[in-house]
Amino acid sequence: MHFYNRQHQFYCGIDLHARSMYLCILDAAGTVLLHRNLPTDAEHLLEALRPYREDIVVGVECIFTWYWIADVCVRHAISFVLGHALYMKAIHGGKTKNDKLDSQKIAGLLRAGMLPMAYAYPQAMRATRDLLRRRMYLMHQQSELLAHIQNTNAQYNLAAFQKRINYQSNRAQLSEHFPEPMVSKNIQADIDVLDALHRVLVSVEREVLQQARAHDPSVLQLIRSVPGIGKILSLVILYEVHDISRFCSAGNFISYCRLVKCPRESAGKKSGARNSKIGNVHLKWAFSEAAVTFLRNNEPAQRLHHRLLSKYGKAKALSIIAQKLGRTLYYMLKHKEAFDPIRFFQDG
């Protein structure tokens, strides 16, 4: 956990919503200078901050509406801090909760140097990252539709499909496989949506790949040097990591990727691991997938997996490989070096 501890003359805490925001501005002594509910637009925000612009920091909790405030602050050279929502929930819990109190608590945490920081992803690559995340959602929809077709086939005890139905060309006459008219119509509805999704996904992937080549082609090539990491996994890692220098150590990076469990201990007694959802779910997925694809047609990786399998079991063996890949990728990006299989398996 990192706290924002720079000193300023004024501190602004904002309890942000979609249509309104409650501002609280404190001075260095903790005196409330402004406490007001405002509409969520840049003009009202800048007008409220205008008397204090000389030396002020703005803090906002990390919810889905923070983008525009961060961009306004960057454009007008105002210090901005994005508060980590899960950590803040643990810090400023109270018996009474409302927008006015929350804004003052955020300002107070800023002033005390105790506001837990989240990463304010910069505007230049943010929209492409969000488009890539949307692609993941659409892929899940595609998987659900394919599973529904397979389940319906099993439900009516029909013969297995001769070809893989995840390919669009193999679904041309698929509805005729189901003799009952209403079942055939049901499957045809799935096929129509699948075909539309396929067109959208191809377009999205092409656009994201073009943007990635424009943003940082050298980093993309470094990531792809890892066996098993292809087009989509490399794009996810590139856009979710953004800048490897924001992680001070490999341990911080693999913790952010949810590749390690963080134990809870008090008075020498361990009480298990909690807060497993703190971190980046997309990087967790990417490295988990990479651990599986890393084993394909890779004899040294398969031997490593076999050793881990006999010692830890299947699930933990793959988790260890995913963690090792995450740690390796951290140093690759840190030192701008391609994947070195000799060093990877030597260290294992």
Report pTM. 0.86
For the chain, the average pLDDT equals 92
Amino acid in the structure at residue 55? D
* pLDDT one-digit tens code per residue, 228-261: 999 999 999 999 999 999 999 999 999 999 998 8
User: Which range has the worst mean pLDDT, 89-103, 110-124, 152-166?
Assistant: 89-103
Domain boundaries, the chain: 3-118, 125-215, 247-264+279-347
Percentage of the chain beyond pLDDT 70 is 97
Average pLDDT on 217-232 reads 93
Give the per-residue pLDDT at 2.
87
Give the per-residue pLDDT at 97.
84
Let me know if 138 is exposed, middle or buried by CB neighbors in 10 A (0-12, 13-18, 19+).
middle
Kindly write down the DSSP assignment for every residue of 117-151, as one continuous string: EE----HHHHHHHHHHHHHHHHHHHHHHHHHHHHH
Percentage of the chain beyond pLDDT 90 is 83
Amino acid in the structure at residue 236? V
Question: DSSP letter at 292?
Answer: H
Question: DSSP letter at 54?
Answer: T
Residue 164 has, within 13 A of its CA and on its CB side, a CA count of 3
Please tell me the CATH code under which domain 3-118 is placed: 3.30.420.10
* pLDDT one-digit tens code per residue, 80-98: 999 998 888 766 667 788 8
Amino acid in the structure at residue 233? L
Cβ neighbours for 237, distance < 8 A, ≥ 6 positions apart: 223, 229, 283, 286, 287, 329
Q: Are 302 and 228 in contact (CB under 8 A)?
A: no
* pLDDT one-digit tens code per residue, 164-208: 999 999 998 899 999 999 999 999 999 999 999 999 999 999 999
Task: Report H helices in 12-122.
Answer: 42-49, 67-75, 85-91, 99-112
Give the per-residue pLDDT at 113.
93
CA end-to-end span of the chain: 29
Average pLDDT on 46-66 reads 95
Q: Which of 128, 141, 136 is nearest to 197 (CA)?
A: 141
Give the per-residue pLDDT at 347.
65
